[in-house]
Amino acid sequence: MLMQYYPHPQHDYSYELNKDMNFSAAHFIPDEQAGKCAHMHGHTYVVNITIAGDTLDDTGFLVNFQKLKELVHKRYDHRILNDLEEFSGMNFPTTEVIAQVIWQRIENYLKTVPNQPSCLQILVRETPTSYVLYRPKKDENHG
Ligand SMILES: Nc1nc2c(c(=O)[nH]1)N=C([C@H](O)[C@H](O)COP(=O)(O)OP(=O)(O)OP(=O)(O)O)CN2
Ligand SMILES: [Zn+2]
């Protein structure tokens, strides 16, 4: 995968892990303000996940890279995002909402692991010229 520059969050954790991945998906934004994006179209989304913590698990992982891919790629690759329950109602699959939803999905998993890492940042790139960063407020991260 192409090396990209990503803005990094400030933190005092000892370990910081980053996982890149992409997935191909279709979406539309059902609002007249979305212009041409109100019509179904597709992207190869690029995602960067930043996780940090002070403690490793018994394997020596902060979190298994493969688990992160499973949580994101397996759910969203080759899907119509609007069909998924997390993007139902008014929670349209904009880049901003996708980034927050991916953060929540990862954070829900991290809450179940004993070494308690935190997801500090999600970057979602929708096109070569557009990306969003989602960083939770301090009290949204556990611990
Ligand atoms: N704040 C947001 N604005 C827009 C979003 C979004 O998710 N958040 N999404 C879209 C469309 O889905 C579109 O696919 C992406 O838009 P855009 O960056 O305008 O894509 P282009 O390739 O047309 O942009 P260029 O400037 O020509 O490179 C629209 N807005
Ligand atoms: Zn789009």
Nearest by Cα to 52 from 106, 4, 102, 100: 106
Pick from 2, 43, 10, 39: which is nearest to 26 by CA?
43
From ligand 2's centre to the CA of 72, what distance in Å? 18
- Within a domain: residue 70? yes
pLDDT range class, residue 3, cuts 50, 70, 90: low
> CB of 47 within 8 A of CB of 1?
no
pLDDT band at 140 (very low <50, low <70, confident <90, very high): confident
H or E, element range at 41 = strand 41-53
Question: Which tens digits make up the pLDDT trace of 86-104?
Answer: 999 999 999 999 999 999 9
Pocket test for ligand 1, best of 28, 127, 134 (most atoms within 8 A of CB): 127
Q: Count up the domains in the chain and report the number.
A: 1
What's the CATH number where 105 sits? Answer: 3.30.479.10
User: Which active-site residues does the annotation give?
Assistant: 37, 78, 126
**How much is the average pLDDT of 11-29?**
97
Nearest C-alpha to atom 14 of ligand 1 is from which residue?
37
The pLDDT of residue 2 is above 60 = no
Closest approach atom of ligand 1 to CA 29: 12
41-96 per-position pLDDT tens digit = 999 999 999 999 999 999 999 999 999 999 999 999 999 999 999 999 999 999 99
Residues lining ligand 1, Cβ inside 6 A: 29, 37, 94-96, 126-127, 129-130
Residue whose CA lies nearest to ligand 1 atom number 24: 129
Dist CA 69 CA 64 (whole Å):
9
| Residue 5: predicted pLDDT | 76
The answer to whether position 55 is within a domain reads yes
Tens-place pLDDT, residues 22-37: 999 999 999 999 999 9
Domain that holds residue 69: 15-140
- The pLDDT mean for the chain works out to 95
